[in-house]
Structure 1
Amino acid sequence: MSTLPAEAAQGAPAEARPWALACLLLALAGALFFSSYGFANWLASQRQDVPSVFFEWERGIPFLPWTIVPYWSIDLLYGLSFFLWRTRAALLTHVKRLVLAQLVSVACFIAFPLRFSFERPQADGLPGQLFTLLGGFDLPFNQAPSLHISLLVILWVAFAAHVTGGWRWLLHGWFALIGVSVLTTWQHHLIDVPTGALVGWLCVYLFPLRLPAVDAAAPDARTRRISRRYALGAAIALLCAVLAAGASVTLAFLLLWAALALACVARIYALAAPAWFQKDSNGTMAPAACWVLAPYLLGAFINSRWWTWRAPRASQIADGVWVGRFATRRELRALGVNAVLDLSAELPRVANGRALAYRCVPVLDLTVPTAGQLEQAVSQLDQWHAEGRRVLVSCALGYSRSALVGAAWLARQRGLSDAEAALAALREHRPAVVLSPEHARTLQGWLDSLPTMEPA
């Protein structure tokens, strides 16, 4: 199997593979797995009545004894995963993901025990032997979230980072089969699968191998205030999820997912750290961030469309330069642009194409870009404009973050040294922008830092 040194691609210094540490951590993680998992199973077995949560149509899911083989294979993959990593830091990150998944899942098993409710048919041959072995330590409890699925997500991400070429298709196929096997071996009900996947993606999100290098301001009163609002939203969504559990498991799960996403966004604003959206300079958001934050991302996109429904979606501020909302592929084609300068931290790139240049300078929504972020964005816009590209400068609505960059660029193009004059020049082309006195102060500070120069 060909492998790709994922950690080396991230600029990690060359070092000897941590074989000894991998062996030690594997032993400790194995002890934690069997002891905590077994304890939660035993504790549930002591209860008089452990409920089940399932849909009636699940009785139609076929029992396929042979799928116990891929089901069991995750144990082998779990052990091998400790020896994938070339650096100590990457190994420790992987182990943190596994341990967090274990702790979160076991805590749920203890707090909200569930049991598998169908009687499994007898199996013969090798599958029968494997089921007998499994039944020796795995009682019909420890259901939601499925720890099997949580570990599957973490291991899938780990192996996919090291496998290239045609082996990736084999890898994806086998891991998908493992995912299906939790149902076809009658080990789990359906609700256990998405809850387990969410826990797995949360662990990958919270422990990334690296975060994008992003210029950002320190937390202030504004970001803390926004953080509290998102935290309140998360608490309300969580309460609604608890209240909805008795009426609709599906609705309860979706509300729980929304609560988790809002809690993560609250943390991002509390830290004033757009890097935790895990969106790189090319506009691509890490898969873990996309999955964990999906309810928020969907809401952010809908919000951008709601507020700009009847407004101009993009305004031309100079020859070959537009300022506007976060654009879809269709909107980019309609404008005829071939470069996008994206100021949004919270919206993953949707437009692609070989001829499309893309640069993201992520700025948190409802905040003011820093002088450093302004300089990065204006310098990129200068370069593309000099190359003759047709550029869209965008953020969620096109009213604030991108508008400030547009004003800064116009000021440098025209040799303006006054922020109010630059903002007035922008408003000539895009009157509906929303720029506060704080935006003007930031722009003035950036202009004052520039060397005296003639208009471009």
Structure 2
Amino acid sequence: MNLSTLTIHLILSGVLIVGAYQFYFWCQRNPLFEPRQLASPLDERIPYLPQWVWIYSLLYYPAILYVNVVLQSAEQFTRVAFSYLALLALQMTFFVLLPVRTPPHWRMANAAGSWSERFLALVQRYDAESNSFPSMHTSVAMLTALHLVPELGLTAFAFPALIGLSCLFTKQHYLVDIPAGAALGWFSYALYAHLLAG
């Protein structure tokens, strides 16, 4: 793929990411039901490690955009973009019909004022405690990893593993959110692969 095509794809990817998050925020503001909590004693035992916010936020988007580097054609870009939009539709279904929020006390932990805690507080200012299940960070990371496996092999799965851990250590998600998000990302990739085969 030449540089001009790659540049166009990166710009379109950025627009798609920003546009997709408008649907994410809409779901936070318009739940059909009262959001529930899924906390378990095991969730409370997971340590709060705010420094993982840098993985949670700063590794996430560059890895997604890196998918553009491995694409071979504009047609493949279209199909890959569709896989992310299909995943978004599935996530929105859960967020609207089964809204889940994290406990308020998880968000009161970042009061000490380290750089990591300040950055996490900034992230949380825009991202409410709802839209917890399944973890969209993990589902998108899993879908991204599956798109990168042909280029990176099994090392691609380090991305969803790190993102899943960051979701837990920043107290942004419950433990159950992580495998559910991974499964949803896998399902979206299976749909993509089916369309690619057809």
TM bracket, shorter-chain basis: 0.7 to 0.9
Q: How far is the alpha carbon of 1:62 from its aligned partner?
A: 0.8
**Matched-pair contact (CA < 8 Å) for 2:50–2:170:** yes
- Whole-Å separation in 2 of the counterparts to 1:64 and 1:90: 38
Rg larger in structure: 1
The residue aligned with 1:62 is: 47
Match of 2:170 in 1: 185
Counterpart for residue 420 of structure 1: none
| 1:155 lines up with 2:144 in the alignment | yes
Q: CA RMSD in A?
A: 2.4
Q: Which moved more, 1:151-160 or 1:15-24?
A: 15-24
**1:201 alignment counterpart:** 186
Question: Is it true that 1:26 corresponds to 2:13 in the alignment?
Answer: yes
- Closer/same/farther in 2, CA of residues 20 and 129 from structure 1, 3 Å limit: same
**Equivalent residues in 2 for 1:204-283, closer than 5 Å:** 204-208=189-193, 210-211=196-197
Whole-angstrom distance in 2 between the partners of 1:62 and 1:108: 27
Q: TM-score, normalised by structure 2?
A: 0.85
- List alignment gaps of at least 5 residues for structure 1: 1-14, 212-274, 276-456
Q: Any idea what SS the aligned residue of 2:129 has? A: coil
Distance 1:145 1:16 in 2: 37
Match of 2:91 among 101, 105, 109: 105
Q: Which residue of 1 aligns with 2:80?
A: 94
Q: Looking at both structures, which has the greater relative contact order when contacts are Cα pairs under 8 Å and sequence separation is at least 6?
A: 2
> Alpha-carbon deviation of 1:74?
0.8
Conserved? CA contact 1:82–1:91, under 8 Å: yes
Question: Alpha-carbon deviation of 1:150?
Answer: 0.8
Unaligned runs of 5+ in 2: none
Displacement after TM superposition at 1:148 (Å) = 0.9
Conservation of the 8 A alpha-carbon contact between 1:115 and 1:142: yes
Which structure is higher in strand share?
1
Report the CA distance shift for 1:186/1:78 in structure 2 as closer, same or farther (over 3 A). same
Query: How far does residue 210 in structure 1 lie from its aligned partner after superposition?
Result: 4.3
Percent identical residues: 19
Q: Is the 8 A contact 1:16 1:86 kept in 2?
A: no
* Matched residue SS, 1:136: helix
Asked whether the equivalents of residues 93 and 207 of structure 1 are also in contact (C-alpha less than 8 Å), the reply is yes
Instruction: Tell me which amino acid in the other structure corresponds to 2:103.
Output: S
Q: How far apart are the structure 2 equivalents of 1:24 and 1:68?
A: 25
Determine which structure has the larger helix proportion and give its number: 2
Please report the TM-score for the alignment, with normalisation by the length of structure 1. Answer: 0.39
